[in-house]
Chain A
Amino acid sequence: MTVDRRIAAVTGSRGAIEATIHIFAPYQDVSLDAWCRANRLPYLQIAAGGVDDTKSLQFPGAIPSLDFTYTLPPMYAGRADNVRILPPSGYMTTSDQKVIFRGLVGIDGLPEINLGRYFNRIDGANHYVIDASDARNVVEPECIYVGGQLNFGHFIYENLARLSLLNWLPDLQRLPVAIYDDLPQRYLEFFDHYGFAKQRRILVPRREPSLFRRVWRLSSPMYRKSRKVPPLFWPDALWAMRSTVAHLMRPLPMRRPRYYLTRPNAQWRRLANEAQVLTVLDRFGVQPIDLSSATAATQIATISEAELVIGTAGAGPAITLYAPTDCLMIELTCPKFEPIFSMFGYAALMDRPFKRITGRRATPEQVSAAGLPPNTGSLGADADFVVNVDSLATIMRAADDYLKNQSTRGAQ
């Protein structure tokens, strides 16, 4: 390896009980496409991308629509040999001092956040100084890298969604997937349902990079280049994710449920006036439900019956991917936080009715009155918040009228 410059750094948990020596080196950012072609490795493109589309999200009642513009991403799979993958982001470095990540991570434009302790600095256009230490863990079998974020929403759209591409690439369907060794059981169940049972999973450590002898990288059907341009969305992947597990969805009951997705263990972005919100929702037959510890099959089956779902913006509402396509969606969110690849994006692509209610930052008194423990979030968008319950009641009334008018299943 050619290393122009080495910087030793010591990091570790408080008290420096565990210290890690990082060796940093410069890497040039290249696309997987360019690198595969330069190295005569397989690269299979299945969608060209680059085209914009705009959807208009509606909601019952005289409420203005919300426009959503997205871009079709290029979709591809490429093979890389003898490469190192940095956890958990999936940045890939090569022995010829290249780093490959565009289209392969949640957002291209934030290497310092994506790379975390493996990042040192940006050294001019397309050049990054990042960790270059040798990988102790070596993955010998040919496999597909999926990794896996611990945040449920990111896990669904950033990791699991990639497996949809394999429908278009049947020759790769025989390969195992490489995933991180600390994914919760309920995440592993999603792999089971998508055809990757335990014997087809290779566990790799999240704590350190791994060297892969022969690994396939699948482009992301849902990601961002930066926050300044429209997000990228490949609708085929989203629909394929649904139909692959359609057998887990339930036939609709005569009386379809209305759910409020609770977050009892949330440590930030909490709804400080949840008690008042629940009182309003109860008037409209909405049941609070905590799906966060349920099995994957139960989560999918439960949400597949709903006629209305209310969720607080965050990881949990990612499960609405599996809700009926006519299900009404209401997202409660705090200022400065408007997630794309969850209720909002899924509603846009499935033409679901969608309404976003943006609250205001909760005062310390409101947080205290709600009995919430200290907020451990580090970002401005992690603030606890309150929503206007009168506005919520108005929106719920419009939704309720719509559902009653449309319903053929008797009064709710």
Chain B
Amino acid sequence: MSAADDQFNGASGARDGSLSRKNSLLQSWCSERNQAVHEIADGRGDISRTLVLPGTSKTLPIRLSRHGAVLTQLSNVSIDPAGFVATSDRNALNLRSWCETVLATGMRNAPAQSGRSNGSSSYLRDVSVECIFLGGAVDPGEFLTFDLLKLTLLDWLPDLHELPIVIYDDLSVSAIELLDLFGVTAERRISIPRAASKFESVWMLSPPFIAARTEEPVSVWPEALWAARHRLAFVSSPLPLARPRLFLGQPVEGPVGDSLRETLGRHNVIDIAMKSRGVAEIVSAISGAESIVVAAGGVGALTLFAPIDCRIVHIESTRNGAETGPAEFATVIGQFYGRISAMELTAADKSGFAILGQIFVSAPHMIQ
């Protein structure tokens, strides 16, 4: 790893989790090489909120740290799927997430494994037009939370609005639909294989979320969340008199799943993913939702588009807990939010079903 790596990812940058500091170093690094950097937001301060779920005793204090937003233009670089950018002067930058966790696993290993930063030239694709690199996670929830929201930065730089956007060719159908809804239509997309590729001139966008080490708060650029809501506002529908209650996520299997379905059915909760034809229809329904029950699965990230007064109940996965997304969205946007653990939905402990009942009994449902 070079001195420049240390500058961007080592002791000076990653330790304090501050994208602002990294922005500054990145600014210096790029200016030395006549590469453009546009910092459109700095990253000072925290956002704290105690999330509550009306009708229940559920509370969840959340603290997010705030980071900035940066666009940088790089010339003659290669980018691999882990987000590492290898430059022609043999430096390697981690511009996917500015994330120390990724850094620890990815930065240490990826260049050596791929051989990209030591002069290897076996690239699968050579992109010669000036473009914006997005790449994109395969999981649609991760794609929305960590990749798609980056596009909101382009609102600040209209000069880039005509540039093509590079994505991986294995993105999910819903990811592609989200890109369409964001105005990135097929003719503006360049699809490349999920492998290292070379770029003559590429713009990299900083992420709206940085998942920090477990003891540190998740870091967020809040404006991206609001800008995304604004961007998809046109998909929303006027509120119906009876606002819908929705279930989002993968079906829960087994006897617990049966009990959950029975409970949700009794309270008129609709499984929107099962009944909808696509992302636009789901977002449209979500935009008027009174309550949303989110279970494991990427589609839960669509709660980003739920109304500010929506009640979001997040059923934690037994394996992964609650994914980054709905709780952080609620913290920024102000939605009601609470979690029910998988343990609370077992045959031995049915308290989760009682909580669901309390939520729906207390919910207004009808517009006053």
- Listed in ascending order, the chain A residues whose CB lies under 8 Å from chain B are 44-51, 53, 58, 72, 167-170, 234-236, 239-240, 242-244, 246-247, 249, 251-252, 254, 256, 307, 324-326, 350-351, 353, 406, 408-409
**What residues of A have a CB within 8 angstroms of the CB of B23 in the complex?**
408
A254 touches B27 (CB 8 A): yes
Tell me the minimal C-beta distance from B283 to chain A in angstroms: 12
B125 at the interface (CB under 8 A from A): no
**Nearest-neighbor residue (CB-CB) of A53 within chain B:** B334
Tell me the minimal C-beta distance from B290 to chain A in angstroms: 8
Interface size class of B (residues with CB under 8 A): 35 or more
Q: Contacts A167-B234, A326-B42, A351-B47 hold; do A47 and B226 have CB atoms under 8 A apart?
A: no
Q: Contacts A325-B223, A351-B222 hold; do A236 and B155 have CB atoms under 8 A apart?
A: no
Q: Contacts A243-B227, A254-B27 hold; do A326 and B41 have CB atoms under 8 A apart?
A: yes
Whole-angstrom distance between the alpha carbons of A167 and B228 in the complex? 12
B44 touches A46 (CB 8 A): no
Cross-chain contact of B38 among A167, A240, A251, A350 (Cβ < 8 A): A251
Whole-angstrom distance between the alpha carbons of A235 and B364 in the complex? 21
Whole-angstrom distance between the alpha carbons of A170 and B234 in the complex? 6
**What residues of A have a CB within 8 angstroms of the CB of B367 in the complex?**
45, 48
B229 touches A48 (CB 8 A): no
Whole-angstrom distance between the alpha carbons of A353 and B227 in the complex? 21
Please count the residue pairs between chain A and chain B whose beta carbons lie under 8 angstroms apart in the complex: 113
Q: Contacts A48-B307, A242-B223, A408-B23 hold; do A247 and B334 have CB atoms under 8 A apart?
A: no
B24 touches A325 (CB 8 A): no
Q: Contacts A239-B229, A243-B227 hold; do A44 and B238 have CB atoms under 8 A apart?
A: yes
- Listed in ascending order, the chain B residues whose CB lies under 8 Å from chain A are 18, 20-21, 23-25, 27, 38-45, 47, 66, 152, 155-158, 222-223, 226-227, 229-231, 233-234, 236, 238-239, 243, 307-309, 333-334, 364, 367-368
**Nearest-neighbor residue (CB-CB) of B367 within chain A:** A48
Q: Contacts A351-B222, A353-B45 hold; do A240 and B233 have CB atoms under 8 A apart?
A: yes
Sample 9 A-B pairs with CB under 8 A, ordered by A number: A168-B236, A242-B226, A246-B40, A251-B38, A251-B40, A307-B42, A324-B41, A326-B66, A408-B24
Tell me the minimal C-beta distance from B227 to chain A in angstroms: 4
Task: Say what secondary structure dominates the interface of chain A.
Answer: loop
Q: Contacts A50-B368, A252-B40, A406-B20 hold; do A167 and B239 have CB atoms under 8 A apart?
A: no
**What residues of B have a CB within 8 angstroms of the CB of A49 in the complex?**
309
Whole-angstrom distance between the alpha carbons of A148 and B41 in the complex? 31
**What residues of B have a CB within 8 angstroms of the CB of A47 in the complex?**
239, 307-309
Whole-angstrom distance between the alpha carbons of A409 and B158 in the complex? 26
**Given pairs A239-B229, A325-B222, 13 additional interface contacts (CB within 8 A):** A47-B309, A48-B309, A168-B233, A235-B226, A242-B226, A243-B230, A247-B156, A247-B158, A251-B39, A252-B40, A326-B42, A406-B20, A406-B44
Q: Contacts A48-B239, A51-B309 hold; do A167 and B20 have CB atoms under 8 A apart?
A: no
Whole-angstrom distance between the alpha carbons of A305 and B158 in the complex? 18
Tell me the minimal C-beta distance from A52 to chain B in angstroms: 10
B226 touches A252 (CB 8 A): no
Whole-angstrom distance between the alpha carbons of A244 and B156 in the complex? 9
Whole-angstrom distance between the alpha carbons of A307 and B230 in the complex? 25
B39 touches A240 (CB 8 A): no
Q: Which 5 A-B pairs have the closest CB atoms?
A: A239-B226, A408-B24, A246-B155, A167-B233, A251-B38
B229 touches A236 (CB 8 A): yes
Tell me the minimal C-beta distance from B26 to chain A in angstroms: 10
Q: Contacts A247-B156, A351-B45 hold; do A252 and B238 have CB atoms under 8 A apart?
A: no
Cross-chain contact of B45 among A53, A247, A326 (Cβ < 8 A): A326
Cross-chain contact of B239 among A45, A50, A72 (Cβ < 8 A): A45
B243 touches A48 (CB 8 A): yes
Q: Contacts A72-B309, A324-B41, A351-B47 hold; do A243 and B152 have CB atoms under 8 A apart?
A: yes
B156 touches A249 (CB 8 A): yes
A236 touches B230 (CB 8 A): yes
A239 touches B24 (CB 8 A): no
**Nearest-neighbor residue (CB-CB) of B159 within chain A:** A247
**What residues of B have a CB within 8 angstroms of the CB of A239 in the complex?**
223, 226-227, 229-230
**Nearest-neighbor residue (CB-CB) of A48 within chain B:** B367
Cross-chain contact of B42 among A50, A236, A256, A353 (Cβ < 8 A): A256
**What residues of B have a CB within 8 angstroms of the CB of A307 in the complex?**
42
Tell me the minimal C-beta distance from A354 to chain B in angstroms: 11
A236 touches B226 (CB 8 A): yes
Tell me the minimal C-beta distance from A227 to chain B in angstroms: 23
Whole-angstrom distance between the alpha carbons of A246 and B222 in the complex? 14
